[in-house]
């Protein structure tokens, strides 16, 4: 993989091949589906009585990690173009 330097100075790996890009696009779709599922699970747990606050926190934490992974992959797919 090649590297991209962003305006903030961090270095990201860039995909080298169309296969890499396709694999990342598929992974993003999988993560987006997981993100939606987690959102539905959170709503379901919050609607139940009594609410399992520990489970809600764990699901929200996992949802945040999934979102971060989505953003990281999207940043790798999108070249850093100066404005």
The ranges assigned to domains in the chain are 7-77
What confidence score (pLDDT) does residue 74 get? 93
Long-range contacts of 60-67 (CB under 8 A, 24+ apart): 62/38, 63/35, 63/38, 63/39, 66/31, 66/34, 66/35, 66/38, 67/35
Ramachandran angles phi, psi of 10, nearest 5°: -80, 160
78 — pLDDT class (breaks 50, 70, 90): confident
The string of pLDDT tens digits covering residues 21-45 is: 999 999 999 999 999 999 999 999 9
> Taking 50 as the threshold, does the pLDDT of residue 11 lie above it?
no
The CA–CA distances, whole Å, from 23 to 27, 29, 55, 74, 77 equal 6, 10, 31, 12, 11
14 — pLDDT class (breaks 50, 70, 90): low
């Amino acid at each position: 993989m090649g590297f991209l330097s962003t305006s903030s100075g961090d270095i990201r790996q860039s995909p080298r091949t169309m296969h890499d890009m396709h694999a990342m696009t598929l992974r993003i779709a999988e993560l987006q589906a997981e993100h939606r599922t987690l959102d539905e699970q959170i709503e379901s747990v919050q609607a139940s009585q009594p609410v399992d606050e520990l489970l809600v926190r764990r699901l929200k934490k996992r949802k945040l990690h999934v979102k971060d992974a989505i953003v990281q992959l999207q940043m790798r797919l999108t070249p850093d173009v100066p404005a």
